[in-house]
């Protein structure tokens, strides 16, 4: 596996030099952030990320995300042009040496939390999701955006989008996803890129919108839509693990060979559909990180790993979920689990 770290570009309070100093770190996960979803990324912008990373001896082989425009998810008239643009981005990224592209197919909203700063007993704070609090949010009244989202919409845009999704149920979303994959996967194959869809977070419907990348049955269906290794997964334990009946090690074994990128983090279930984000080690949350890493190693996983959302600790301020300290601790913990499993299982 190759250990990587998400970097949000020059505006990120975490610097590339800090990332470089995390033991065993090989590269960054980043994206071109100044181009609206749906448009083509310039070769210069892609090359600039690569050379900044290289100046700190870091690789740039994973992009997160190339966002999928809502018109593609909706199957709207503009979808064909936007899919062409998407394919062009895949080509350009492949030419620049990118090996994996992470993306999601969640209508309107990316990952969702109801709290950004839940204070823990030890004085750190975490992101949290409370099912009842979620039920009381009306995005058309309050608006909604989270740090780290690729796209945010104004209340007017949200109203319009949510209206358009009224006629798009789960089956239609599957069809639109298939249309997207049938165009993009052959280009990815030819470009030496593996596509890696990110699961829906949380993996259930929100605000009445369909969400389909949620569980073992649906991931299996997804992989068959276009049955090519280039059509793969980002296995995000914190997202899939929020649904308590998802057996993560079993899913990893089942999908071995199709997992190109792993987001490894822990969460603590606080009731049936509520959870908070914890430090990475198994004993800090509800997920067995050892069993997860062991399943990856047993399946011959050779992809990219990144620690995922961290708590804010030691007084750090910055982008919620994406501070330096707790993610760096997570990275070294994960590196230790991998070293132990790889050496033990050899
Ligand atoms: C949250 C992230 C997601 C992810 C996208 C992938 O922190 O894991 O925002 O980047 O869903 O497209």
pLDDT digits 0-9 by tens, 3-45: 999 999 999 999 999 999 999 999 999 999 999 999 999 999 9
C-alpha to C-alpha distances, 292 to 199, 241, 344, nearest whole angstrom: 16, 11, 15
Check residue 141 and give its pLDDT.
78
User: What average pLDDT score do residues 41-53 get?
Assistant: 98
Encoded tokens for 167: 């006629």
Which string of DSSP letters, residue by residue, matches 15-31?
-HHHHHTSTT--EEEE-
The per-residue pLDDT for 236 is 98
Q: Is the CB of 103 within 6 Å of ligand 1?
A: yes
CA–CA dist 154, 164 (Å, integer): 15
Average pLDDT of the residues of the chain: 96
- Give the pair of three-digit tokens for residue 76: 């709207």
Whether pLDDT at 147 is above 80? no
Cβ–ligand 1 contact at 8 (below 6 Å): no
Asked whether the predicted pLDDT for residue 78 surpasses 80, the reply is yes
- Ligand 1 centroid from CA 110, angstroms: 7
pLDDT computed for residue 46 by the predictor: 98
- Measured from the CA of 150, which atom of ligand 1 is nearest? 9
Binding site membership of 198 for ligand 1 (Cβ less than 6 Å): yes
What's the mean pLDDT in 141-154?
75
Neighbours of 121 (CB within 10 A): 5
Average pLDDT over residues 255-281: 98
C-alpha–C-alpha distance, residues 1 and 342, integer Å: 10
Three-class secondary structure of residue 224 per DSSP: helix
Name the band, by pLDDT with cuts 50, 70 and 90, for residue 327: very high
Which range has the worst mean pLDDT, 105-119, 140-154, 202-216? 140-154
CB of residue 235 inside a 6 A radius of ligand 1? no
The mean per-residue pLDDT over the stretch 61-77 comes to: 97
Q: Which residues are catalytic?
A: 198, 236, 263, 308-309, 322
- CB of 237 shorter than 6 A to ligand 1: no
**What atom of ligand 1 comes closest to residue 321's alpha carbon?**
7
* pLDDT (0 to 100) of residue 240: 98
pLDDT band at 173 (very low <50, low <70, confident <90, very high): very high
End-to-end CA gap in the chain: 15
pLDDT > 90 in the chain, percent: 92
pLDDT above 80 (res 143): no
pTM across the whole model: 0.97
> Using 50, 70 and 90 to split pLDDT, how confident is the model at 150?
confident
Distance from residue 189's CA to the centre of ligand 1 (Å): 23
Question: Which tokens is 236 given?
Answer: 């995000």
- Gap from CA of 67 to ligand 1 centroid (Å): 10
Burial tier of 56 (Cβ tally within 10 Å: 0-12, 13-18, 19+): middle
Please state which of the ranges 14-23, 155-164, 176-185, 214-223 shows the lowest mean pLDDT.
155-164
Mean pLDDT of 115-140: 93
Question: Chain centroid to CA 89: how far?
Answer: 18
Q: Which residues of 239-263 are buried (b: 16+ CB within 10 A; e: fewer)?
A: bbbbbeebbbbebbebbeebbbbbb
C-alpha 211 – ligand 1 centre gap (Å): 14
- Exposed/middle/buried for 315, CB within 10 Å: 0-12, 13-18, 19+? exposed
Give the relative orientation of helices 170-191 and 216-225 as an angle to the nearest 10 degrees.
50
Of the given ranges (53-57, 65-69, 141-145, 243-247), which has the lowest mean pLDDT?
Answer: 141-145
pLDDT of 142 higher than 80:
no
- Report which secondary-structure segment, H or E, holds 276: strand 274-277
Tens of pLDDT along 194-239?
999 999 999 999 999 999 999 999 999 999 999 999 999 999 999 9
Mean local confidence (pLDDT), 173-202: 98
CA 64 to ligand 1: nearest atom: 10
Is 149 a residue whose pLDDT tops 80?
A: no
Mean pLDDT over 52-66 rounds to 98
Nearest-atom index, ligand 1, CA of 263? 8
Confidence label for 139 from pLDDT (cuts 50, 70 and 90):
confident
Domains in the chain (CATH in brackets) are: 2-345 (3.20.20.150)
């Amino acid at each position: 596996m190759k250990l990587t770290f998400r970097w949000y570009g020059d505006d990120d309070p975490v610097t590339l030099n800090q990332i470089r100093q995390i033991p065993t770190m090989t590269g960054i996960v980043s994206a071109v952030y100044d181009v609206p979803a749906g448009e083509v990324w310039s070769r210069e912008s892609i090359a600039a990320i690569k050379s900044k990373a290289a100046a700190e001896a870091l690789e740039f082989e994973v992009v997160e995300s190339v966002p999928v425009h809502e018109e593609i998810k909706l199957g709207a008239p503009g979808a064909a042009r936007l899919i062409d643009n998407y394919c062009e981005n895949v080509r350009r990224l492949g030419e620049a040496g990118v090996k994996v592209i992470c993306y999601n197919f969640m209508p309107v909203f990316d990952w969702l939390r109801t709290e950004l700063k839940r204070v823990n007993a030890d004085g750190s704070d975490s992101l949290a999701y409370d099912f009842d609090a979620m039920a009381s949010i009306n995005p058309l009244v309050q608006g909604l955006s989270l740090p780290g989202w690729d796209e945010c919409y104004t209340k007017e845009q949200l109203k319009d989008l949510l209206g358009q999704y009224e006629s798009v149920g789960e089956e239609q979303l599957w069809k639109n996803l298939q249309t997207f994959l049938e165009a993009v996967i052959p280009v990815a194959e030819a470009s030496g890129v593996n596509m890696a869809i990110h699961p829906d977070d949380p993996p259930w419907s929100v605000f009445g919108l369909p969400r389909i990348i949620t569980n073992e049955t649906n991931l299996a269906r997804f992989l068959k839509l276009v049955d090519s290794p280039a059509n793969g997964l980002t296995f995000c334990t914190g997202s899939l693990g929020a649904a308590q009946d998802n057996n993560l090690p079993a899913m990893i074994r089942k999908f071995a060979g199709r997992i190109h990128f792993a987001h490894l983090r822990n969460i603590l279930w606080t009731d049936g559909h509520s959870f908070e984000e914890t430090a990475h080690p198994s004993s800090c949350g509800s997920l067995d990180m050892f069993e997860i890493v062991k399943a990856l190693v047993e399946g011959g996983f050779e992809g990219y790993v990144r620690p995922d959302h961290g708590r804010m600790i030691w007084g750090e301020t910055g982008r919620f979920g994406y501070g330096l300290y707790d993610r760096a601790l997570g990275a070294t913990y994960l590196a230790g689990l991998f070293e132990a499993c790889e050496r033990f299982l050899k």
